[in-house]
Chains A and B, each alone.
Chain A
Amino acid sequence: MTELLQNLIDGLGRGSIYALLALGVAVIFGVMHLLNFAHGELITVSGYVAFWTISEGWSWYLVTPAIIATAVATSLVIERVAFSRVRGSSDFTLLLTSFGVHFVVFAVFLLYVSASVKTFPRPGWVTNTYSVGSLNLEVFDTVVIGVTLVTLLATSWLIQRTMFGLALRAAAADFDTARLMGVRSDTVIRGAFALSGLLAGIAGVFWLMRAGNTVPSAGITPMLKGVLAALIGGLGSLRGAVLGGFVLGLAEVLLRSRLPDTVASLTEGFVFLLIALLFIFRPQGLIRVAHAERV
């Protein structure tokens, strides 16, 4: 029982990061119908900023805002340089553009920085633990869960209670009608990319604190987790994305912990098998979104 509880908390910690990533993916999908496979590049770029700034002696207190600012800036630059050029194109064009961005960013770091792993020290408290009864909990998991909850509440407030949020929701429901109603497309799309970058930046801080390294392909895994969680939750649904993140995190930890040793190395395979089963019975994901189009 104790181990199960620990697994649940570990899974929630992991799922919190996935939820933030998935929410960023869902925000962009909502306004552009773009499944953004370049989302992970925000963490790749942030990772190198973390490496360079920490190498210069910056503490994590300074590196944290630097990572978040980098993710937001990178997201806006990608929108300006790549996606604004193909705005209004077919979903397939947008999808290919996002792949293009991914490969360009990857190649730039590979060719002009290094193919080697660049490591940097993690904050000392990342592996600290504390006890609650018989439970031995990681401080990191607690912080991640707490920060994620605050971020999700703030995001919810932004979307539900502000003019920007109203415009975002209107654009997600029907972009053309929203424009006719006076919503400025540039503002709402750039705002969505900024919000997506902000969420990726917060997720990136935790991801990089845990990883302690970066490579040109560092963004692939977080991108996959984010996209997968968004799909599980129901593409286009912000609440679904968050739910999908937690479900994915819990599934990974519980399967790895509960599967017999002989098949434990197939954990990832089982996760994908469960996702496939989910899509057989609920092709729309956990939460159905009427207006979303599948890519």
Chain B
Amino acid sequence: MRLKVLFALLAVFTLVVAACGNDDDSDGGTASAPTEAPAPTMTEAPAPMMTEVDIDAALAADLSECTAAPTGDPIQVGMAMDFSDVVGFVDIPGSKLVPFIAEKVNCTGGINGSPVEVRVAEVGQDAVLAAQELLDWGAHFLIGPPFADFALPILQTTGGQVPLFVAASTEPTLADASVNSFLVSFDDYGMSRAAAQWAYDQGITRAIVFTEGEGIPYTGVNPDAFIAEFEELGGEVVSVQTYIWAADTDFSAQVNEIAGISENNEVVFSAALGFQVTALRGQLEGQGLDGLTYIGTDALDATGIQAEVNNEGIAHTPHTSISSGDRIDTMLADYEAANGEALESRGFMALYVDSMFLGIQGILDCGCTNPADIGAAVAQIEGFQGLSGEITFAGTNGIPPKAVPINRIVNGVDTLVATIGG
């Protein structure tokens, strides 16, 4: 009986909520967040036509003192984001930050009088559906999730006719300028070659490498690239061990083998996550191997190596090396002040903002709104001064030849110790 009453109350509540809800169903079932232009608070003389995005001006905007709201045709930015626990650690905060920055752009009058609108569609289990929704909405360009399982279906949906920025990806196969697909970061090869160069520059000539298997995206490609570069530089890879990425935290079998061959002076490289590297290190040190140097990929930044215990001396290749008070730090502090929450995965956030500004720069360069033409213009971008560094697509296949920062935990602080390539 009580159950029936409960169901009845639930039904009534549902009907009331449905009746009180917004009639506009354009959001569908997705996590959409169109950014509206802020209300005008003052009027200024028309600004000169913008030919280059002014990131600093947008970041400096004070949302409580906006200029006249832009009234032109909107620039529509579609974000197809993966909120799963595989990628959500970057796509969730990224999809919060980009609309916030768009709001700031609009606060400064927009882009030549056009407001920037951002719509977020969670890919869920169907990236095609999310991409199609954004295309139907009229997105001029898309910002997509970093891994191929969702980015490739999105690319197939766009048919290469709409620019796609795979913001947080280092996956080289996702970049193809001929189908308007662009990385915003360096790729796996650039990242791991830089790691090998840095290790060799430290005078280390022996390496122990952990891989999931040759050629496996990210978990195998990064070790492959490291091995190739390290050996080309003259180093020797004395042991290649396998492990399960994102899962293994017991490396007993591998440590037993390493203990038999190590001279306690090697560099240990992997694309493993932060908690895996510290677990491995603990077990190796338990065997007396306390003279090893550890370097990893952007996965260490993604999984918070800075907060790990026993992280001293561990090096990694973040996308941005943030220092207190710099542009990225200030941007993230602004977001936190305005929204009351700090964003996670701080080192990746500049890539999302850069993705939006690169798309807008493409629109400014071509003076067009046709996505395919915007893509062609993006492919010719040269020397774009992004938050995450200088970005050039001209003459590339969609992978910008960016410098790779090498950070290392020094006295407990994540410190930039080198910048390689670029």
- State which of B42-50, B276-284, B317-325 sits at the interface with chain A: B276-284
Q: Which residues of B contact A264 (CB under 8 A)?
A: 241-242
Within A77-123, the residues touching B (CB, 8 Å) are: 106, 110, 114-117, 119, 121-122
A127 engages B285 (CB within 8 Å): yes
Q: Which residues of A contact B304 (CB under 8 A)?
A: 116-117, 119
Within B281-334, the residues touching A (CB, 8 Å) are: 282-283, 285-287, 303-304, 307-309
* Cross-interface CB contact of A122 among B84, B285, B309, cutoff 8 Å: B309
Q: Is residue B113 within 8 Å, beta carbon to beta carbon, of the partner chain?
A: no
Q: Is residue A265 within 8 Å, beta carbon to beta carbon, of the partner chain?
A: yes
Q: Is residue A148 within 8 Å, beta carbon to beta carbon, of the partner chain?
A: no
Q: Is residue A56 within 8 Å, beta carbon to beta carbon, of the partner chain?
A: no
- State which of A33-41, A170-178, A213-221 sits at the interface with chain B: A213-221
A212 engages B89 (CB within 8 Å): no
* Cross-interface CB contact of B287 among A114, A136, A215, cutoff 8 Å: A136
**Contacts A122-B309, A129-B286, A261-B240 hold; do A115 and B252 have CB atoms under 8 A apart?**
no
Chain A-chain B contacts (Cβ-Cβ < 8 Å), number: 105
A119 engages B307 (CB within 8 Å): yes
Mark each residue of chain A from 9 to 48: 1 if its CB lies under 8 Å from any CB of chain B, else 0: 0100110000000000000000000000000000000000
- A136–B283 Cα gap in the complex (Å)? 11
**Contacts A117-B275, A265-B211 hold; do A127 and B283 have CB atoms under 8 A apart?**
yes
B247 engages A221 (CB within 8 Å): yes
**Contacts A14-B250, A110-B84 hold; do A116 and B344 have CB atoms under 8 A apart?**
yes
- A74–B283 Cα gap in the complex (Å)? 32
**Contacts A122-B309, A210-B279, A212-B249 hold; do A115 and B88 have CB atoms under 8 A apart?**
yes
Q: Which residues of A contact B220 (CB under 8 A)?
A: 265
* Cross-interface CB contact of B252 among A10, A116, A119, A122, cutoff 8 Å: A10
- A264–B282 Cα gap in the complex (Å)? 23
CB distance from A178 to the nearest CB of B (A): 28
B287 engages A129 (CB within 8 Å): yes
Q: Is residue B259 within 8 Å, beta carbon to beta carbon, of the partner chain?
A: yes
**Contacts A122-B282, A122-B309 hold; do A211 and B242 have CB atoms under 8 A apart?**
no
Q: Which residues of B contact A7 (CB under 8 A)?
A: 252-253, 256
Within A204-234, the residues touching B (CB, 8 Å) are: 210-213, 215-217, 221
- A227–B303 Cα gap in the complex (Å)? 29
- A258–B55 Cα gap in the complex (Å)? 56
- A253–B256 Cα gap in the complex (Å)? 11
CB distance from B22 to the nearest CB of A (A): 21
**Contacts A117-B275, A122-B282 hold; do A6 and B85 have CB atoms under 8 A apart?**
no
Q: Is residue A268 within 8 Å, beta carbon to beta carbon, of the partner chain?
A: yes
Q: Which residues of B contact A268 (CB under 8 A)?
A: 244
- A128–B286 Cα gap in the complex (Å)? 5
**Contacts A210-B249, A256-B242 hold; do A122 and B279 have CB atoms under 8 A apart?**
yes
* Cross-interface CB contact of B242 among A6, A13, A126, A267, cutoff 8 Å: A267
Could you list some 23 contacts between A and B, CB below 8 A? A6-B256, A7-B256, A13-B252, A114-B89, A116-B344, A116-B345, A117-B274, A117-B304, A119-B304, A122-B279, A127-B283, A127-B285, A211-B279, A212-B249, A212-B309, A213-B249, A221-B247, A257-B253, A257-B256, A257-B257, A265-B211, A265-B216, A266-B213
Additional A-B contact list (10), CB under 8 Å, known A3-B257, A6-B252? A7-B253, A14-B252, A115-B87, A122-B282, A127-B282, A129-B287, A136-B287, A138-B283, A138-B286, A265-B220
Closest 7 CB pairs of A and B: A115-B88, A127-B282, A265-B213, A10-B252, A121-B309, A127-B286, A116-B89
